[in-house]
Each structure stands twice: as structure tokens, then as C-alpha cells.
Amino acid sequence: MPQAAVPPETLEVPPCPDLTGGFMGRETPLFELHRSLGARLIDFGGWSLPLHYASQIEEHHAVRRSAGVFDVSHMGIVDVRGPDARVLLETLLANDVGKLRSAGQALYSCMLNESGGVVDDLIVYFVGTEHGYRMVVNGATRSGDLAWIRRHAAGRRIEILERTDLALLAVQGPLARERVASLLAHGAAGVADTADAPPTASATATTGATDGGELALSLEPFHARSIGRWFVARTGYTGEDGFEVMMPAAEAEEAWRRLNALGVASCGLGARDTLRLEAGLNLYGHDMDQSTHPYESGLGWTVALEPRDRRFVGRTALEAVAAAGSPRKLVGLVLDDRGVLRAHQKVSIPEEGPGRGANAGGHAGVGAHAGEGIVTSGTFSPTLQRSIALARVPAATAAHVQVEIRGRALNARVVKPPFVRHGRPLIS
């Protein structure tokens, strides 16, 4: 039976140092804005970022129902330019940048080590032959990623430029695109000033758009273009529509405040995590890392083994896994009993059937099991009012498992993520 609702305080992310009273890490261009808005600041991968501003649950619902804005300027923006840019990315990425045939297209991919482990997951944008590519990498891994990229770029005709001059705002929700378009239609980004914009800015002839707002609204999913001084991408990490907007750091605070004035809620990492987990999206360092490969991380769809002559880093290891079959897989879980799923909890796979009744007292360690797995990410879903998780389990895992929570084996169903998409529950 469905679990009863869990009190809101159980939605807190695992404890992190509270930096509201003092800063211990790196700051984004919006650090002082977050303080002025009363955000609870935490250390996240060496960065001081807002966990929430008021109610984490209300921020979550704002994104599902209207629009919210997140500061994700800790993420690394890296421009890769030069005659050998494409060759480099064909070598570095498990997905094939050859799929990017027109300026503005975007591609999600993993960057692997030689054993097939995930160095990072990222988005790469093709901004035209003259300007090359733009990559957005995770904040906690950006230094290591840059070193990895530069190592493989050595001796090639390539310029690697980390864009520390830019801020990155994610505006997400069913009304997000409309709100960003409103800013652009009223002079944000200096839309008339396009002298330095990549070719993606000159889309008026093909879209019929006459201002920045119309240009933004004409973007297809997983496409981007420069609009004035802003680089606007129709991408996100919440399971909702919206934009991720790269802009000069000096313009970020005004853009944020103008979005607030349009009814866009300020949102922190807490809501971002519950939203992305409802959407079934991986978090680097939890659901995959350098010790796990894409096939056991729900990311096999990002691996392009064709064309066969593309020798990307980690290919040999992945070919062996693909031929033999991965012994583990990443699945979604929905908890049927009362409790909250969290990372690192042990998952037991019954020998046959759901195993219900094998341990009437609900205590872990009772009953026969065919194998074990582990919860990689878990939370209480504000949208579903259920506890949900991603878990890495044996490949033979079927429809039911048990999760050890505080010494008790609680029943959970195996489902295929996402749990929620565009505000609509996808599981019963």
C-alpha cells in the first residue's frame, strides 16, 4: 500500500556545513545576492551555494507549477575552438559529436577513463565551425575535467578557454520560457549588440523572429543560440521545460531580480535535487563516478559505438561490457512501506517473487536473497508524496526488492524512471 506522507523536514538533503554565518569555499557571482535574499548557504563541492531560501517544498512546487530560477554558476563553461576541436571531442566523449550537424544543437554525453568509468557527464553545444564547441561540466569536477581535456588536447590545434567571466542561471518550469522571453523582449542581454555573437544569433531569417524573446521561444529542445550577450539553451535538470542561460557575470544579479519581479521563485539545491530525482536524472558522484560505467548507470543510451572507427577513450572497455552484458543496472525504486529512501542503503533482491511475508517483523537479514544492490540517490518526492530512489542492482533484479532502513527490510517496487515529467506523475 502507498506510504503515508512524511513530515516536510525529512526532505532535507544530507547534512552539510551551514555557511550562512561565514564563507569557507568558492563564491559564484551571485553569492551576495543569495545572502541578501536570506538563503541558507551550504558547502557543495567546495562552493558556497543556497540550499533553500524559505520553504524547500514550495520551491520544488514552484518549478513544477510555474517557474523557478537556480544559480548554477559553479558549473564549468569551457569553450573548445580550433581546427582540431571536433577530433578532440570525438576522442574524449562516449557520445558522438558528429551528430551535431547544425549550429546550436546540443548533445549529452559522458567523458570516460580508459576502464570505461565516468570522469564526468556533460552537455556539449555546437556553435558553428568558426567558433567550435561549448561544454558545460559539473562544478565539483571542473578542475579535473579541464586537466583531462587539456591533457588530450596537447599537440593539437585547439584553444581551451574556461569562461570564468560568465554566470549560469537555470530558469525552469512550465512558465519559465515565457518569463525569460519577456526579459529578452524588453532589452535584457543588449539584444541589439550582436557583433561578437556566434552564428547561432542570426536566426531571424529562418525563424521569422523579430526580437530576443521570439528568438528564445523559437528554440527547439536541446538547442541553443546566442541572443545579444546571452547564450540561451533549451536544456535543464528538473524534468520541466525551460532555459539555461549563460550571461556576463555582471548582468546576473539584475536578471535574477527581474525574474523574481515576474513571479519566478528563487530556488536552491534542495529543490533542484528532488526535482532531478523525480525526473530520473543522474547526479555525478552518487549515481555514477569513475568506478562505474554508463551501462550500469542507466546511461547506455549515451554511448555511440557507431561509427566503429571512432576510437574514443574507454571504448575498448565498453565494447567488452556490451558484448558480455552488464552484471548490474540502475533502476528506479518506489517504497511501498513507510520510510524515506536515502543514498547508501542496502538493497536486497528476493530469490523468487516479491518475498513479502518472508520476514513478518520486517527485520533485515531474514529470508533468502538472490543478490544485493545499493541506493545511489533517494528522497521523499513532494510531487508523488512517496519515497523514491535510484539504485544499482544485479541485472536479474525483477519487480520487487527490499531496502534496509534503520535495521528493517522495507518493501519497494522496481520501476523505470522518470517518476515525474512535465508535472505529470508517471508511476502509480
Chain-centre distance for alpha carbon 9: 24
Say whether both 343 and 402 belong to one domain: yes
Does the pTM surpass 0.85? The reply is yes
Label residue 307 exposed, middle or buried (CB < 10 Å: 0-12, 13-18, 19+): exposed
Helices (H) and strands (E) in the chain, counts: 10, 21
In a domain, 64, yes or no: yes
Answer positive or negative: Cα dihedral of 149, 221, 298, 171: positive
Within 13 Å and on the Cβ side, how many CA atoms surround 225?
A: 25
Predicted pLDDT at 2 = 37
Whether 164 contacts 157, CB under 8 Å: no
Q: The C-alpha cell of 112 is what? A: 570516460
Bridge partners for 31 per DSSP: none
Predicted pLDDT at 352 = 60
Say whether both 177 and 42 belong to one domain: yes
Q: Which domain holds residue 332?
A: 327-425
d(CA 352, CA 362) in angstroms, rounded, equals 18
**Number of domains composing the chain:** 2
Predicted pLDDT at 188 = 85
CATH of the domain at 251: 3.30.1360.120
d(CA 416, CA 311) in angstroms, rounded, equals 31
Say whether both 171 and 271 belong to one domain: yes
Q: Which of 255, 278, 301 is the last residue of a domain?
A: 278
Predicted pLDDT at 129 = 80
In a domain, 117, yes or no: no
Pairing of strands 265-266, 68-71: parallel
Whether 47 contacts 273, CB under 8 Å: no
pLDDT averaged over 10-residue windows placed end to end, the chain, 428 residues: 36 43 77 98 95 97 98 98 96 98 97 98 92 95 97 96 98 98 89 44 41 95 97 98 98 98 98 98 98 98 97 98 98 97 97 49 52 97 98 97 97 98 94
d(CA 414, CA 399) in angstroms, rounded, equals 5
Bridge partners for 412 per DSSP: 335, 401
Query: Helix H segments across 218-263?
Result: 252-261
